[in-house]
Structure 1
C-alpha cells in the first residue's frame, strides 16, 4: 500500500504507472492527475496495463479506486498476470481528495 501523497509524488516524477479502476461514471467526478482509466471489470485490463508498461512486468504499477477495495482486487489480478511491483493507494480517491492532491477532469 502507498499513502496518497507518496503515490502522487511518484506519479509526478513518472516513476509509476497509475491505473484508476473505478467506473466511467465515477471518473466523471475527476481522476488523479496522470492516472490511466481502466475499469476493474474490463477483461482486457492486464493486457492494457502491459501495453502501458511497454511489455515490462517489473514496471511499478499503482492502482486506485474510490476507497481501496476494488483496487485491491485489481492489484491481485495484475500480480496473477505476472506484474511484480503492484501497489494500492491507501484510502483510494476519497483519501486522495481529502489530501487535496491534483485531480483532473475525465476526458472520456
Structure 2
C-alpha cells in the first residue's frame, strides 16, 4: 500500500511539473515573470543582464556546481511556487537545469531558448552587470 501511494505521489509530481521552452521576447519581459540568469560573473560582465533578471550562478567556469547553494539563493530570490524563467548564454545549460528543477522539485520553469545571445540580437533591454 505504501509503495502504491508513493508511486502515485511521484507520478503526480512528474505530471504537474512543467518546462516551457520559449525564446527571449519583449512579451516575456513585460510579463514580469522572474528571470534567473545562471551564467558566471565573467559572462554577466561580458554581455550584461536582461533588465530585471536575477543573477544566480549555477555552473562555475569549470562546469562545477553546488545545487544546495543554488537552491538556497533561488528560493530566497524567487517564489518557486509560481512560474519563473532561467537564462544562460545559448540555452544549453538552462535546458539541463530546467529539466532537473521541473522533474525533481516540481517547479514550473521557463527555459529561455537561445539565451542571452539571442536576446542581444533582438535588442531587448540589457543592462551592464553591477556586482553588489
Quickly name the TM-score band, shorter chain normalised: 0.7 to 0.9
> What SS class does the counterpart of residue 100 from structure 1 fall into?
coil
CA distance in structure 2 between the partners assigned to 1:52 and 1:81 by the alignment: 19
CA distance in structure 1 between the partners assigned to 2:58 and 2:99 by the alignment: 11
> What SS class does the counterpart of residue 113 from structure 2 fall into?
coil
Moved more, 36-45 or 77-86: 77-86
Query: Greater CA radius of gyration, 1 or 2?
Result: 2
TM-score, normalised via structure 1 length: 0.83
Q: Tell me, which stretches of 5 or more residues in structure 1 are unaligned?
A: none
Q: Which of the pair is proportionally richer in helix?
A: 2
The alpha-carbon deviation at position 39 of structure 1 amounts to 1.1
The alpha-carbon deviation at position 89 of structure 1 amounts to 0.8
2:52 paired with 1:52: no
Match of 2:50 in 1: 32
* RMSD of equivalent CA atoms: 1.7
Q: Deviations over 1:34-60 (max 9, x none)?
A: 111111135211221111224xx3211
The alpha-carbon deviation at position 101 of structure 1 amounts to 0.5
Conservation of the 8 A alpha-carbon contact between 1:65 and 1:71: yes
- Label 1:34 to 1:83 Cα distance change in 2 as closer, same or farther (>3 A): farther
Number of positions where the alignment pairs a residue of Structure 1 with one of Structure 2: 103
Conservation of the 8 A alpha-carbon contact between 1:67 and 1:91: yes
